[in-house]
Structure 1
Amino acid sequence: MFVIFGASGNVGRATAAVLRESGRPVRAVVRDPRHARSLEAWGCEVAIADLDDRESVDRAIRGAQAVQMLCPVPSGDPDPAAAMRRMIDVSAAALRAQPPARVLVLSDYGAELDSNTGITQGFHHFEQQVKPLASNLILLRSAEHMENWARVLPAVHAAGVLPSLHHPLTKRFPTVAARDVGLAAAALLQDEAPTPTSRVVSIEGPRRVSALDVAGALGDVFDRHIEARAVPREEWTPLLQRAGLSARHARLIVDLYDAQNLGRIDVQAGATERRFGTTTIEEVLGELAQRANIAARA
């Protein structure tokens, strides 16, 4: 049994779909029962679990041959870092108690760093907590997901301006489509080669992009000029809080972008196992706009 946590999300759905197409038995783990029907239609067994509830996590991984585990960022929590650590501690303890033949943890670029990386510091904690699994463990570190731009698309379409915390606007940074992460995860979960030590696999998209590239791609999608505008550093926190983030969450995002802009968050130096997705930023932005029903300007 292949157990996929977060199976209703962009990465998890892609992993589950590939595994089912390959004829593998999949237990799709979701928190919200409303996501069960579509996954059951693929032939998945569905388990309901809350990463804050050790008993439900234990039930979800029971009898697993392989487990894909994630730690979602709880954006509605007033203290997301503490909430992440609680979920990580619960899931890692469950995996250590019932170690399957293979565990794949969805992690992030920069997770090897132990401080001053904002949200990414939670993934460092995750990796440390699952380290005892050793030979059973694959850490799949991905670049920033292209889908993160979805939250600003309506405002960009309305104003013709892409606000960017990536500084300078010309700086190229790694990014990746969530579905490419899911496809890579499915391949790694099915790889039957022995893993004498834990593996760190890094994945990013086919090419690096800048904020100017993203604005250009959105201009093509919306059929209008989109201006990329660097948000001044002193305006980051007020901007994020106006978007609904708590003060602590905003601090984590500010620290994250500070680290990215300094070049600290990237593929780890000396990484030997790297993968590259095939989905372009243009494809993802077009799909996101279509999904949000945002049409080109008449």
Structure 2
Amino acid sequence: MHVVFGANGRAGGETARALMANGEPVRVVVRRPEQGKAWAALGAEVALASLDNAEQVSAALKGATAAFLFNPPPVAGDPFGQTAEIGAALAQAVRRADLSRSVILSSIGAQHETGTGVIATLHQVEAMLAGTAPATAFLRSGYFVETWSEVAEACVSEGVLPSFLEPDRKIPMVSTTDVGRAAARLMSQNWAGTRIVELAGPEDWSASDVAAAFAKVLGRPVEPVLVPPEQREAVLAEAGLSAEGTAALLGMYEGIANGRFTRQAGTEHWRGTTSLTAAVERIVTKLRAAA
């Protein structure tokens, strides 16, 4: 049995779908019963658990061979305090469950303890979960292409792509489709020890590349527009982030600008196959379907 936490999120959902497409038995873990109805209709088992509750996580892992684990992005409160609670619960539960393999979603740049904003919480998670299962993999993802869905409406209505990234700075980006496939691959393989797998798309991309992909899909010009640093805090606060979460996210973009969002020597470097245009086309399709 393969257990997937965060199945209603981007990476977790793609992991569950990739496993099911391969014919693997899957148990998805959600917080509320209604969140599991669609997965049950697809043939997955459904378990309920809160990530910061070791007893509930242990029960969700019962009988599992492999699990996909993650630390949710912060919305309210202190992200580092949240990570400490969730990391402790996950570590305790994995040890109790006698799990053979765990795949933990992390990020490129997680080798740094500081200077990366919210990515530093994943450094924290890696330290807490290292060695908790005989086979432990930290899947360090590039910047999710699907994150750009949050500003896709501006591309459609205004022909601009608001960005906290310098327009021409190329960084590792990847579609969550490829994240799910990579996680499913790691969960289904037999191996032992600790692995660090850094995952990016077929090539590194910039905000200008993303704008060009939106322009191609939409059939009209789209220009990347750098949001001035002095306006960013207000933008994130309007999106509902706490002061602590805002500071952590802005710290991530500062870390990217300072060159700390980079691959680590000596790790496994994987490339996905989903093109930037294909990932953006899916974003636009979902946006139009929701309209």
Q: What amino acid sits opposite 1:110 in the alignment?
A: G
2:57 alignment partner in structure 1: 57
> How many Å separate the matches in 2 of 1:104 and 1:46?
19
1:104–1:138 contact (8 Å) kept in structure 2:
yes
Take 1:282 and 1:83, find their aligned partners in 2: how far apart are those partners? Answer: 35
Identical aligned residues as a percent:
36
Specify which of 198, 205, 223 is matched with residue 201 of structure 2: 205
Unmatched runs of 5 consecutive residues or more in structure 1: none
Cα RMSD after superposing both structures: 1.8
Distance between the aligned counterparts of 1:154 and 1:23, measured in 2? Answer: 36
Q: 1:182: which partner in 2?
A: 180
TM-score, normalized by length of structure 1?
0.91
Q: Conserved in 1, the CA contact under 8 Å of 2:154 and 2:162?
A: no
Shift of 1:243: 2.9
Partner in structure 2 of residue 235 of structure 1: 231
Shift of 1:294: 7.5
Asked if residue 71 in structure 1 is aligned to residue 71 in structure 2, the reply is: yes
Q: Of the candidates 245, 249, 254, which is equivalent to residue 250 of structure 2?
A: 254
* Contact 2:27–2:47, Cα closer than 8 Å, also in 1: yes
For the Cα contact (< 8 Å) 1:12–1:182, is it kept in 2? yes
**Partners of 2:214 and 2:222 within 8 A in 1:** yes
CA displacement, residues 75-134 of structure 1 (integer Å, 9 cap, x when unaligned) = 2x1333322332222112211233311111111111111012111111111100011326
| Corresponding position of 1:268 | 264
What is the 5 A alignment of 1:216-235? 216-235=212-231
Hey, what does 1:18 align to over in structure 2?
18
CA deviation vs aligned residue, 1:11-48 (integer Å, no higher than 9, x gap): 22222233233332221111232232221223211101
* Residues 57 and 144 of structure 1, relative CA distance in 2, 3 Å threshold: same
Q: Extract unaligned runs of 5+ from structure 2.
A: none
Q: TM-score, normalised by structure 2?
A: 0.93
Secondary structure of 2:212 counterpart: helix
Aligned residues: 290
User: Is residue 2:272 matched to residue 1:280?
Assistant: no
Distance 2:8 2:239 in 1: 24
Alpha-carbon offset, residue 69 of structure 1 = 0.7
Q: Hey, what's the Cα distance between the residues in 2 that align with 1:221 and 1:101? A: 43
2:81 paired with 1:85? no
Distance of 2:86 and 2:171 partners within structure 1: 29
Which amino acid letter does the alignment assign opposite residue 292 of structure 1?
L
